[in-house]
Amino acid sequence: MFTYSIKELAHALAAGKISSQELTQLYLDRIAALDPKLNSFITVTAEHALAQAKAADKKLSTGEAGPLTGIPMAHKDIFCTNGIKTSCASKMLDNFIAPYDATVVSKLNDAGMVMLGKTNMDEFAMGSSNENSFYGNVKNPWNIDYVPGGSSGGSAAAVAARLAPMATATDTGGSIRQPAALCGISGLKPTYGRVSRWGMIAFASSLDQGGIMAQTAEDIALVMNAMAGHDEKDSTSIDLPVPDYTTKLQDSLKGLKIGLPKEYFEGLDPKMAELIHTAAKALEAQGATLQEISLPNVKHSLPVYYVIAPAECSANLARYDGVRYGHRCDNPKDLLDLYQRSRAEGFGAEVKRRILVGTYVLSAGYYDAYYLQAQKVRRLIANDFHAAFEKVDMILGPVTPNAAFKSGEKAQDPVSMYLSDIYTLATNLVGSPGLSIPAGFIDGLPVGLQLIGKHFDEARLLNVAHQYQQITDWHKQMPSI
Amino acid sequence: MQWEVIIGLEVHTQLLTKSKIFSGASTAYGATPNSQACLVDLAFPGVLPVLNKTAVEMALKFGLAVHAEINPYSTFERKQYFYPDLPKGYQISQYQTPIVGKGYLDIELDNGQTKRVGITRAHLEEDAGKSLHDAIPHMSGIDLNRAGTPLLEIVSEPDLRSAEEAVAYLKTLHALVTYLGICDGNMQEGSFRCDANVSIRPVGQKEFGTRAEIKNVNSFRYVEKAINYEIERQKEVLESGGIIVQETRLYDASTNTTRSMRSKEAANDYRYFPDPDLLTLYVSESMMAAASQSMPELPWEKAARFQSDYQLSAYDAKVLTAERGLADYFETVVKLSQAAPKLVANWVMGDLAAFLNKNNLSIEASPISGERLAGLIARIQDNTISGKMAKTVFEAMCESNDTADHIIEARGLKQMTDSSALEKVIEEVMTANPQQLNDYRAGKDKLFAFFVGQVMKATKGQANPQQLNELLLAKLKSNN
Amino acid sequence: MSFDIPKVAYLARIAMSEEEIAAVKPKLENVMAMIDDLVKIDTTNVAPLASPLEQYQTLREDVVTETDQHVTYQKLAPKVAADLYLVPQVIE
């Protein structure tokens, strides 16, 4: 039953074929047996999960159940969970028991979902390989010598290995889509502002967005119904009605205009290019029309992103000072020592590098040249997307340049690591929704197809992905672990 | 050398909102440490700010009162520095585009002249917490109750030319923000705080001299002293061939000196950038309309009305309108007593003010309510008691919660209004003092006062002085 | 490179040894070389874009919604006494 999608599990629960407690125990057993190989969880909350499952069973038996009641899931350890350790995979928060729930967490609790635990990630969501966790690397379930991608590598590996039917994740520059692609699952980064950021530990506030990883687009639609929406505690969450994301899944693709940005295919690995074109052709066969488009400024995404994200991160992470919570160094001799050593000890190498870069680009004399210039180029990139969306309904391309790479392969040069997000960064800069779905394999490792939509057009992305998943079975492939 | 003094003031006013600028925690003063610091104020991981609507409305009211340009689109930035009372490691403030732009405030100087002082800008920001250095040995204790309290920082142009002008500006500003109901103006509790930028230049020189910023001045008197000290210090430095360093200086009231805080200045680089958690603040036309509708009568408008409606002198009108509470009190008394406004003004500015001053009480805390004072003044107005007796009654009112009528009744202080009874007393006094009567009639006019005194004594002061004068004069002059 | 690592590390309050600075230097140089491409892009008359949603700030009503939780919150604090968070003595 662990191979079931959420939709299938919900049917089984509703039909009384299995109870939520049994289902929860089934996943807890799988985690206990298999996660030592993957390291996809930081915290497993068995007791909490079984209590939630018990409550869910009661609702199922009294007919008060919703479509997600009793479905097990996992939260990325970036979402605050009341009374449960929330570490952001950092030594800084190794001792942090969050005193409140993130809005995403309370919404999924309200929907009756059962939290199995908190998944591993790159520290403070900074990384593309899950090699930056205080709790150790996460392994790719397709081949444990390879990285699962990052930063939501734990969520991706857990869903891919069927340790949970679904997991939450966050995406600041590709952190949902890239690991989803590298682990062969589906992952949605919603439009910036569609999902509340309250209780989601900030990396780069103008780019961060919470989202969903699951086996299928249909499952993502089901969870989006519960997770999306305005939150008065988040000024940047948008007060727009939440559609039922499942109603458009069956729509025909006839007349749908899909744009293929030529910049995404220039110099692309031929194996990857072939898979993406094959996928595009499959959509064309279903009635969509394909056309080449140009996003001339998208090539600047990398430097723009690596100015803005570190700048925002350097301020967002200033609160970790060893005073009110989190790591504090032993015997500080004065206030400066308290700050400098607590932060030096509490943060890992990549986080420190990004804080340094962010501090530098905002410092006196460099602000205009770097930060302000990056925000201007960001507008140029946004203008490219606006222009493209005048012509097409959605943009299609690869998620990553290649399939997963080996652990340690890119550890020495941050820029080579950063390049693995080259096709996903722009989406965050302009706030668009982006969806990654499995589109085949290169040398036995999965790769993804990326669909980028207009703001708040998630339902259309999920529709296309669902139609694609009706005629392909890449999303049903499962690693043998 | 002749020096010209240049002063600009930055005033931090705590806005009188119930909750903080970016969180739902209370802003009440004096609570248990950290009991009013919520997750947002404490900068817990994952929290986000949401702007308080009332704080914005208060800023708009201030902007309208100083005839300022209101920026329809303003932004919030992060000002970054590490300090234990700043939990996020940055203060959310308005840097590039403040909500309130250029405006002005007219102030009245001691010589009666009016001076227009430019307001550069006023912006919204959050207050920091407090560091307590004496509570625990070798440690500083951090109380974050104040963190996130809304502030409106009001920056003046360097238009002020003396400490006296600076104080006049501050007092006018203080009256304004309390009138507007946007700040309680309590300087002891830090609700109204002032930093002064002071520099001097040779008379006739165009360029400004290097300025020093004096922080931590928490009373009008200290502002004057601190600025005057700083002017003298700068003169001494310059006249002995030294140079002024641009720096922050701390005023120490106990020694009446300012000292350098160079340590805090070292390597400051605030790295301002737009706060991505807060979007552009848009002030719509309807918000502007609501703000203008909610504008109370301003101090200078009230003073003008007091002169025209109550026929008060410019001086009386200014004193009575200096504080909104005092003006409200005055108008209550006029209304309830139906007495001549000038009589009410004299009492409010005279006996009542002296009593409050002596007991260090604000008008709001006055034990003599407007209603009680009106009760007293009404009895003067209708001649029940004399002005002199009224002072006795007032003293009694200060000691108790009784009404004037009750005290007059209990002590039998009512004026005699029956003229035949008074005539009888006069006759008795004249009979009892034949020698003085003869002397008076022989031309010793001064003895008139003697007879007044005797009659007053005999009536225990209850004779109406005017009536007594008239009757006594008639009796003394007649020969029967 | 004008990236003064000790100065920036001080601004960010991160203690760094000589060895750490030497180790991070080439990595930061790579990152900054990549970022330096930005400078060449013509952005004349382009307004900066600070947030992908060019929307306006929503405002909350001025209502006290929070209650005293300081005992709970301070359980997470490294050092507390008399309801205060403690840090080494700050000399002003």
Q: Does C44 touch chain A (CB under 8 A)?
A: no
Number of residues that make up chain B:
480
Is residue B385 predicted with pLDDT exceeding 60? yes
Q: Is residue B352 over pLDDT 70?
A: yes
What is the pLDDT at residue A109? 98
Arithmetic mean of pLDDT, A120-138: 98
Cβ proximity of A235 and B278 under 8 Å: yes
In chain B the first and final C-alpha atoms are separated, in Å, by: 81
Model confidence over B271-320: pLDDT tens digits? 999 999 999 999 999 999 999 999 999 999 999 999 999 999 999 998 99
Strands (E) across A263-393 are located at: 289-293
Whether chain C has a CB inside 8 Å of the CB on A194: the answer is no
Shortest Cα–Cα distance, B206 to chain A (Å)? 29
Per-residue confidence (pLDDT) for residue B420, from 0 to 100: 82
pLDDT tier, A395 (very low <50, low <70, confident <90, very high otherwise)? very high
Contact A362 B271 (CB under 8 A): yes
Three-class SS of residue B394?
helix
**Residue A150 phi, psi (nearest 5):** -160, 175
Give Cβ neighbours of residue B141 (< 8 Å, ≥ 6 apart): B33, B131, B132, B133, B135, C81, C82, C84, C85, C86
| A323 near B CB under 8 A | yes
Q: Spell out which residues of chain C touch residue B31, defining contact as CB-CB under 8 Å.
A: 68
Q: How confident is the model at residue A218 (pLDDT cuts 50, 70, 90)?
A: very high
Calculate the dihedral angle through the C-alpha atoms of B220, B224, B226, B228, rounding to the nearest 10 degrees: 180
Could you identify the residue written with the tokens 């995979």? A89
* Average pLDDT of the segment spanning B73-81: 97
- Tokens found for residue A209: 């967005």
Q: Which residues pair with B228 in a beta bridge?
A: none
> How far does the CA of residue C15 sit from the closest CA of chain A (Å)?
5
DSSP at A323: S
CA distance A178 to A434: 11
Interface residue C83 vs chain B (CB under 8 A): yes
Kindly report the number of other CB atoms within 10 A of residue A5's CB atom.
19
> How far is the alpha carbon of B249 from chain A, nearest alpha carbon, in Å?
22
Is any Cβ of chain B less than 8 angstroms from the Cβ of C42? no
Q: Do A344 and C38 touch (CB under 8 A)?
A: no
Which residue of C57, C66, C92 is in closest CB contact with B280? Answer: C57
pLDDT of A178 higher than 80 = yes
User: Could you tell me if B271 lies within 8 Å of chain C, comparing CB atoms?
Assistant: yes
For strand A209-214 and strand A257-261, is the pairing parallel, antiparallel, or unpaired?
unpaired
The SS3 call for residue B51 is strand
Among A residues 85-104, those touching chain B with beta carbons less than 8 Å apart: 86, 88, 93, 96, 98-100, 102
Q: What is the pLDDT of residues B222-268, one digit of tens each?
A: 999 999 999 999 999 999 999 998 888 999 888 988 888 865 555 57
Mean pLDDT across A233-257: 97
Tracing tokens 């912006």 back to the chain, one arrives at B123
Among partner residues C31, C43, C60, which is closest to A415 by beta-carbon distance? C31
pLDDT at B469 over 90: no
- A121 in Cβ contact with A86 (< 8 Å): no
The phi, psi pair for A113, rounded to 5°, reads: -75, 160
Chain A partners within 8 Å of B82 (Cβ)? 318, 321, 339
In angstroms, what separates the C-alpha of C45 from chain B's closest C-alpha? 18
Please list the residues that pair with B92 across neighbouring strands: B78
Instruction: Name chain A contacts of B48, Cβ cutoff 8 Å.
Output: 197-198, 233-236
Name which of B110, B99, B98 is nearest B169 in CA terms: B110
Domain ranges in chain C are 1-40
**How far, in Å, CA of B221 to CA of B358, rounded?**
18
Confidence of residue B442 (pLDDT cuts 50, 70, 90): confident
Paired with B80 in beta bridges are B90
Residue B460 has pLDDT above 90, yes or no: no
Query: How far is the C-alpha of A294 from the C-alpha of A1, rounded, in Å?
Result: 45
pLDDT tens track for B116-155: 999 999 999 999 999 998 888 899 999 999 999 999 999 9
Provide the 10 A C-beta neighbour count for residue A202. 26
Which among A232, A321, A455 has CB closest to C60? A232
Architecture of domain B419-477 in this structure: Orthogonal Bundle (1.10)
Report whether pLDDT(A137) > 80. Answer: yes
* Contacts of residue C87, Cβ cutoff 8 Å, sequence gap at least 6: A323, A335, A338, B84, B139, B140, B142, C79
Which are the catalytic amino acids of A?
76, 151, 175
Look at residue A398 and give its three-state secondary structure.
strand
- Burial letters A92-119, b for 16+ CB under 10 A, else e: bbbebbbbbbbbbbbbbbebbbbbbbbb
In chain A, where the domains are located:
1-481
| For helices B53-65 and B285-293, angle between their N-to-C axes, nearest 10 degrees | 70
* Cα–Cα dist A110/A104, whole Å: 10
Architecture of domain A1-481: Alpha-Beta Complex (3.90)
Q: Does C49 touch chain B (CB under 8 A)?
A: no
The CA distance from A221 to the nearest CA of chain B, in Å, is: 25
Residue A326 Rama label (left phi>0; alpha psi -120 to 50; beta): left
Answer whether A264's CB lies under 8 Å from A398's CB.
yes
Domain range annotation of chain B: 3-290, 297-411, 419-477
Q: Which of A393-407, A412-426, B336-350 has the lowest mean pLDDT?
A: A412-426
pLDDT band at A448, cuts 50/70/90?
very high
Lowest pLDDT segment from A209-223, A394-408, B158-172, B404-418: B404-418
- Among partner residues A238, A307, A328, which is closest to C38 by beta-carbon distance? A307
* Residue count (chain C): 92
pLDDT tens per residue across span B8-57: 999 999 999 999 999 999 999 999 999 999 999 999 999 999 999 999 99
Residue type (1 letter), A380: L
- Residue carrying the six token digits 């990285």: A147
Q: Give pLDDT, residue A438.
A: 98
pLDDT greater than 70 at residue B480? no
Residue C63 has pLDDT above 90, yes or no: yes
The tokens of C30 are what? 């790579």
For residue C84, the distance in angstroms to the closest alpha carbon of chain B comes to: 5
- Give B459's pLDDT tier (boundaries 50, 70, 90): confident
Identify all chain B residues contacting A199, using CB atoms and an 8 Å cutoff. 46-47
Residue C55 near chain B (CB below 8 Å) = yes
The whole-chain average pLDDT of chain A stands at: 97
When pLDDT is averaged across residues A450-455 and rounded to a whole number, the result is 98
**Model pLDDT, residue A411:** 83
CA angle B400, B405, B407 (to 5 degrees): 45
Burial A125-143 (b: 16+ CB within 10 A, else e): bbbbbbbbbbbebbbbbbb
Question: What is the Cα–Cα distance from A249 to A352, expressed in whole angstroms?
Answer: 43
Q: How far apart are CA A92 and CA B63, in angstroms?
A: 44
Residues A72 and A116 sit within 8 Å (Cβ to Cβ) = yes
Give ∠ CA B18-B19-B21 in degrees, rounded to 5.
125
Residues in chain A: 481
Residue B327's pLDDT is what? 95
Q: Which of B48, B89, B142 sits opposite A234 (nearest CB)?
A: B48
Q: Which amino acid is at B226?
A: A
For chain B, what is the mean pLDDT?
92
- Cα(A83)–Cα(A87) distance, integer angstroms: 12
Q: Does A369 touch chain C (CB under 8 A)?
A: yes
For residue C59, the cross-strand partners are B51
A323·B142 Cβ contact <8 A: yes
Give the pLDDT of residue A264.
96
Other C-beta atoms within 10 Å of B456: how many? 18
Whether chain A has a CB inside 8 Å of the CB on C63: the answer is no
- Partner-chain contact C11 B267, CB within 8 Å: yes
**Using CA atoms, how far apart are residues A121 and A138, in angstroms rounded to an integer?**
8
- Asked whether residue A230 carries a pLDDT value surpassing 60, the answer given is yes
Contact C27 A193 (CB under 8 A): no
**Coil, strand or helix: which one is A140?**
strand
| Distance from the Cα of residue C37 to its chain's centroid | 24
* pLDDT of residue B418 exceeding 80: no
Tally the C-alpha atoms within 13 A of residue B156's C-alpha that lie toward its C-beta: 30
